[in-house]
Amino acid sequence: MPPAQNLGVMELVNNTPNVPAAVGPYSQAVRCGGLLFCSGQIPINPSTGKIEAADVEGQARQVLGNIRALLTAQNLDMNHVVKATVFLTSMADFPKVNPIYEEAFQGHKPARSTVAVAGLPLGALIEVEVIAELQA
C-alpha cells in the first residue's frame, strides 16, 4: 500500500459562541485535511447549559440548531455537511426525527447513518455528529 497522505495540521475548535461547551475532554470540532469533524451534539441549550426539551422532537431541533451554530462559526452551513451520524435511544423515534432532520438540511442530503444506542450523555434522547467540507 502507498504511504498515507499527509492530511495537514489539525486545528482544535473550542469556545464557539452559541454552542454548548464540551461536557468532557474533547473539542467541539477539529479542522483537518479540508474537513471539519464536529463532535456529537446533544440537546443542551447553550444559554442555560441544560437539556430543556423532554420530547425527541424538541431535542432534535436543539441538536440541529447547535450544529448549525457550530458550522456558522466556521463560515459554513448545513450544505457543507458530507456525513451525519444520528444516535437515538429508541428507533421508535426515527419517524419523529426524520422530518425535523430533513427540514434542517432543506433538501441537502449528506450521507447518513442512524444508530440505536443504550444511552446518551445527560439522559439525552438524540445526539448528532457531522463531518463538513471546509470552504476553499
Q: What is the rounded distance in angstroms from the CA atom of residue 83 to the CA atom of residue 69?
A: 17
Q: Is 33 inside a domain boundary?
A: yes
Please tell me the total count of domains within the chain.
Answer: 1
3-state secondary structure of 52: coil
Mean pLDDT of 47-60: 97
Residue by residue, DSSP assigns 6-32 as: P----EEE---TTSPPPSSSS-SEEEE
Band (pLDDT 50/70/90 cuts) for residue 10 is: confident
Is 4 part of any domain? no
Q: Is residue 94 part of a domain?
A: yes
Q: What is the pTM of this model?
A: 0.92
Q: Which pLDDT band, with edges at 50, 70 and 90, does 17 fall under?
A: confident
Mean pLDDT calculated for residue range 86-111: 98
Within a domain: residue 52?
Answer: yes
Does residue 1 have a pLDDT over 50? no
Residue-level pLDDT at 136: 58
Please indicate, yes or no, if residue 82 is contained in any of the structural domains: yes
Q: What are phi and psi of 36, to 5 degrees?
A: -115, 115
Q: Is residue 3 part of a domain?
A: no
Reported as a single tens digit per residue, the pLDDT across 68-78 is 999 999 999 99
Q: Which of 86, 89, 87, 74 is nearest to 135 (CA)?
A: 74
What rounded mean pLDDT belongs to the chain? 93
Task: Look up the CATH number of the domain holding residue 88.
Answer: 3.30.1330.40
Domain that holds residue 45: 11-133
Is residue 36 in a domain? yes
| Range 90-106 average pLDDT | 98
The answer to whether position 6 is within a domain reads no
